[in-house]
Amino acid sequence: MTNKREQKAILVLGGTGKTGRRVVERLRGRGVPVRVGSRAAEQSFDWTDRTTWAPVLRDVGAVYVSFHPDLAVPGAPETVGAFADLAVASGVSRLVLLSGRGEEEAQAAEKLIQSAGVEWTILRSSWFNQNFSEDYLREPVVGGEVALPVSTVPEPFVDADDIAEVAVAALIEGGHAGQLYELTGPRLLTFADAVAEIARATGRRIDFLPVSIEDYTGALTAEGVPVEVVELLTYLFTAVLDGRNAHVADGVQRALGRPPRDFADYAKDAAAAGAWNRT
Ligand SMILES: NC(=O)c1ccc[n+]([C@@H]2O[C@H](COP(=O)([O-])OP(=O)(O)OC[C@H]3O[C@@H](n4cnc5c(N)ncnc54)[C@H](OP(=O)(O)O)[C@@H]3O)[C@@H](O)[C@H]2O)c1
């Protein structure tokens, strides 16, 4: 890394989200100047408003790109590609993309980052552990029943802390440019297994209930979940969870020289931190 880039800030898009927040904490802990990219930030950044893009890119040397809501949504690659082009034109020399496994749109976005003309690292990640404690699966877990349209297809859930550590290494260290890291946890778990681990860690009864896709989308719609979110979840729980990603990968080990964190350790620590306390 050059001195010039060391003086420049690192822009962390989604910097208050599940992975971005952890990237920001780690960079600040190392004394690196950081700019948070989010709609609520002092200098607001909004993926849906391109006039907000150039101001946050001023004097930035590297960017952690986590797209919202999901790289799997139609149009995401074009938006990410347009942002990458502007970033490069603004003087950014390193792009680190948070991506998803087995998703056509996500892989299209990866290609655009790889061809943007600067150093790149791709973090192609499996489902996050933290979906159960910091996102849409928290409420069902706290309620004691997780009903999902999934069978016994296993997933190698990965921890957001591991993703953040790889992201920080890729943002500030040498040796990660041009690397595509497939980031997974150390073992495969079904959703029923994952819920059982959380039940064990919390000492509470939490049932896992497989439901049909029709019942699942019907329940979400009845709760007032927006149609595009219902469509996204349906895509993730059906097309992406068809077995195509049912294998572990070595990205965390390759990037950090240590194995990834196990789901049981995540569940234990999250339970101890009160992640599933009834509020
Ligand atoms: N969850 C998974 O299991 C999984 C697996 C693989 C890959 N991924 C990828 O991970 C990415 C999401 O990363 P994450 O889970 O770390 O983030 P997240 O928690 O979903 O993101 C929340 C962040 O995005 C910001 N945000 C929301 N709407 C925005 C908008 N319109 N413009 C700009 N910022 C906006 C939020 O801040 P404000 O509200 O202040 O704007 C917040 O900082 C997606 O691209 C997805 O494809 C997810």
Q: What is the pLDDT of residues 128-174, one digit of tens each?
A: 999 999 999 999 999 999 999 998 999 999 999 999 999 999 999 99
Q: Is the pLDDT of residue 278 over 90?
A: no
pLDDT tens string 222-238: 999 999 999 999 999 98
CA distances from 277 to 124, 207, 248, 267, 273 (A): 31, 17, 31, 13, 9
Query: Residue 153's pLDDT is what?
Result: 94
In terms of residues, how long is the chain? 279
Banded model confidence at residue 4, pLDDT cuts 50, 70, 90: very low
Rounded to the nearest integer, the mean pLDDT of the chain is 96
Assess whether the C-beta atom of 70 lies below 6 angstroms from ligand 1: yes
Question: Given ligand 1 and candidates 25, 36, 38, 124, which is best to mutate, with the most ligand atoms within 8 Å of its CB?
Answer: 38
Query: Hey, what amino acid is at 194?
Result: A
Query: Residue 7's pLDDT is what?
Result: 75
Residue 176: burial class (beta carbons within 10 Å; 0-12, 13-18, 19+)? buried
15 Cα–ligand 1 center, Å? 9
Query: Residue 239's pLDDT is what?
Result: 87
Q: Is the pLDDT of residue 110 over 90?
A: yes
Q: Kindly tell me the sign of the dihedral angle through the C-alpha atoms of 105, 53, 120, 82.
A: positive
**Residue nearest to ligand 1 atom 6, measured at CA:** 100
Summarize the confidence of residues 96-106 as an average pLDDT: 96
pLDDT tens string 6-58: 579 999 999 999 999 999 999 999 999 999 999 999 999 999 999 999 999 99
211 Cα–ligand 1 center, Å? 27
Bridge partners, residue 125, by sequence: 100, 183
Whether a cis peptide bond, with omega within 30° of 0, leads into 55 is no
For residues 131 and 99, is the Cβ–Cβ distance under 8 A? no
203 Cα–ligand 1 center, Å? 30
Q: Is the pLDDT of residue 246 over 70?
A: yes
Residue with tokens 């920001």: 24
Q: Is the pLDDT of residue 66 over 50?
A: yes
Dist CA 96 CA 222 (whole Å): 38
3 Cα–ligand 1 center, Å? 30
Q: Is the pLDDT of residue 275 over 80?
A: yes
Assess whether the C-beta atom of 77 lies below 6 angstroms from ligand 1: no
Summarize the confidence of residues 183-206 as an average pLDDT: 98
167 Cα–ligand 1 center, Å? 15
Q: Is the pLDDT of residue 5 over 70?
A: no
Phi and psi dihedrals of 240, rounded to 5?
Answer: -75, -30
Dist CA 231 CA 250 (whole Å): 31
- Which phi-psi region, left, alpha or beta, contains residue 103 (left: φ > 0; alpha: ψ -120 to 50)? beta
% of the chain surpassing 90 pLDDT? 95
Assess whether the C-beta atom of 100 lies below 6 angstroms from ligand 1: yes
Assess whether the C-beta atom of 207 lies below 6 angstroms from ligand 1: no
Dist CA 11 CA 179 (whole Å): 20
For residues 118 and 144, is the Cβ–Cβ distance under 8 A? no
Residue with tokens 């989604």: 14
Query: Residue 177's pLDDT is what?
Result: 98
Q: Is the pLDDT of residue 111 over 80?
A: yes
